[in-house]
Structure 1
Amino acid sequence: MTFSIVGYDPIEKEWGIAVQSKFLGVGAVVPWAKASAGAVATQSYANTAYGPKALELMEQGKSAQETLELLLAEDPEKEMRQVGLIDASGNPATFTGKECYDWAGGMTGTHFAAQGNILVDEKTVQAMAQVFTETEGPLADRLLAALDAGQEAGGDSRGKQSAALYIVKEKGGYGGFNDRYIDLRVDDHPDPIKELIRIYQLQQLYFAPSKPERIAAIEGEIKDQLIHHLKRLSYLSDEPKSNDGIFRALTAFIHTENFEMREQSSGFIDLEVLEFMKKS
């Protein structure tokens, strides 16, 4: 009742899944991943035990295909299942049981496995595969572009409801304390993929590190704009008497809005923060 794509970035060492379904909260069921082990999408009449079991096997050094064969060998209802896997080295595998509802199927390519069931036709999976292969940039961008293309090609024949994006990398989580690099869900929405893309863009705004070319000195026109918006947003009550006063007000804004990842040394600002300020 779902279509998904599982992918790997060998440069950044990221594993991830993007998924959409006419199903409430698909992100709570389908995607599983662990850094340096792999990623799994378990769907159709989803056997959620496939997730942790597959990750355990792949962490032990099993390939995606070997892991898939072991999972299926232990499941008497395997013909109702659909699953896609990427192992620790980025090798893919996919399986669609004979009892999955039409259209159902999957395909693999370099560092990806795409699959879906109860689809309009095979074009959804083909579009995901093509777009993932042709798109450049971060794994998240490639997975989302592929998922969006799958929807545009037909998608789930029953409609749309939820979507999720889950990507792991070593110490990729908040503060570097876990591997949960990107973990975003849209549980119930009339256009869940577009909403997921919007939330991902917010996630990048809040948590992606500053780009060097977007860091600027607080002087000239930038200083004037910053003072104007700090006053408008009530972080400054009158004309600041020193640059330190401006920076203290900016720091208060950054901490209130959770932009700590974009905080700069005294006298500098990430222009993404200033752009957000203008729209606030």
Structure 2
Amino acid sequence: MTFSLVARCAQTGMFGVAISSSSPAVAARCSYARAGVGAVASQNVTDPSLGPFALDLMQGGMSAAQAIAGLRDQAHHIAYRQVLAIDAAGGTAIHSGPNSLGIWTQAEGRDVASGGNLLANDGVPAAIVAGFEAAAGHLGDRLLAALQAGLDAGGEAGPVHSAGLMLVDKVNWPVADLRCDWTEACPIAALRTAWEVYKPQLDAYVQRALDPTAAPSYGVPGDE
């Protein structure tokens, strides 16, 4: 009941995850990324421990493919899980267990991997990958373009209600972690609106954390 992608910007080294689902707050359970290491989406009868586990394996020197193999060997109930990973070199790997829900499939491209379950059709992940590869600009823009391409290709079998976008860069926290946890309207459209507001301020929020004395003004009433 989810479709997602993990991706890397080859120019900046930034990693990101974009995801949407009919379930509430999907990004809170399924999106994981670590600066300089990679990104993971853990979905389908979700085990939230798998995202940090895969990132730990990659931080320890494993490729995405080796980390996914490690999950298969060590994780519990792996037949029910779908996990996507991308590593620091842009390598990708996907595990889709045989007990994934409904129509499930996966696709990989350059610096991107996509997967989904309970899909409207088996072409959705390929459409997501193609959408990412055709998009330009900031990694956040490319991730959202890809997620929209997946929705346009059919998306989930039913309506989606939540979505999320996570980005990591050079600091040890997400430089963007935007979510629409529930809406009866389109959560991907809501996420895009949030990104359009947040994107121009992203660098300023990082600067405020690193050195508030050199940071720009906050742009709120009373701030001079």
Q: TM-score over 0.5 for the alignment?
A: yes
- SS at the partner of 2:128? helix
Render the CA deviation track for 1:64-112: whole Å, top value 9, x for unaligned.
0000000111134111110100012111111111111221011111111
Q: Distance in 2 between matches of 1:131 and 1:252?
A: 36
Partner residue in 1 for 2:177: 183
| CA positional deviation for 1:255 | 4.1
| CA positional deviation for 1:132 | 0.6
- Higher relative contact order structure (alpha carbons within 8 Å, sequence separation ≥ 6): 2
Partner residue in 1 for 2:193: 198
Q: State percent identity of aligned pairs.
A: 33
| CA positional deviation for 1:122 | 1.4
Q: Distance in 1 between matches of 2:70 and 2:221?
A: 50
Partner residue in 1 for 2:90: 90
2:221 counterpart letter in structure 1: T
Q: How does 1:7-18 map to 2 (within 5 A)?
A: 7-18=7-18
2:74 counterpart letter in structure 1: E
- SS at the partner of 1:254? coil
| CA positional deviation for 1:179 | 3.1
Q: Distance in 2 between matches of 1:78 and 1:136?
A: 35
Render the CA deviation track for 1:118-156: whole Å, top value 9, x for unaligned.
000112112101111111111111110000110111111
1:254 counterpart letter in structure 2: G
Contact 2:175 2:202 survives alignment (8 Å): no
2:136 counterpart letter in structure 1: E
Q: How does 1:244-263 map to 2 (within 5 A)?
A: 254-256=219-221
Q: Distance in 2 between matches of 1:208 and 1:35?
A: 15
Structure 1: 5+ residue stretches without partners: 172-177, 210-250, 261-280
Contact 2:13 2:88 survives alignment (8 Å): no
Render the CA deviation track for 1:177-210: whole Å, top value 9, x for unaligned.
x43111100000121000000000000233356x
* Alignment: residue pair count: 212
Q: Distance in 2 between matches of 1:207 and 1:255?
A: 16
Q: Which has the larger radius of gyration?
A: 1
CA RMSD of aligned residues (A): 1.9
Deviation above 2 Å: which 4+ runs of structure 1?
Answer: 205-209, 251-258
Partner residue in 2 for 1:220: none
Partner residue in 2 for 1:128: 128
Contact 1:59 1:88 survives alignment (8 Å): no
Structure 2: 5+ residue stretches without partners: 205-215
Q: Distance in 2 between matches of 1:57 and 1:14?
A: 19
Render the CA deviation track for 1:147-167: whole Å, top value 9, x for unaligned.
011011111112111000001
Q: How does 1:226-237 map to 2 (within 5 A)?
A: none
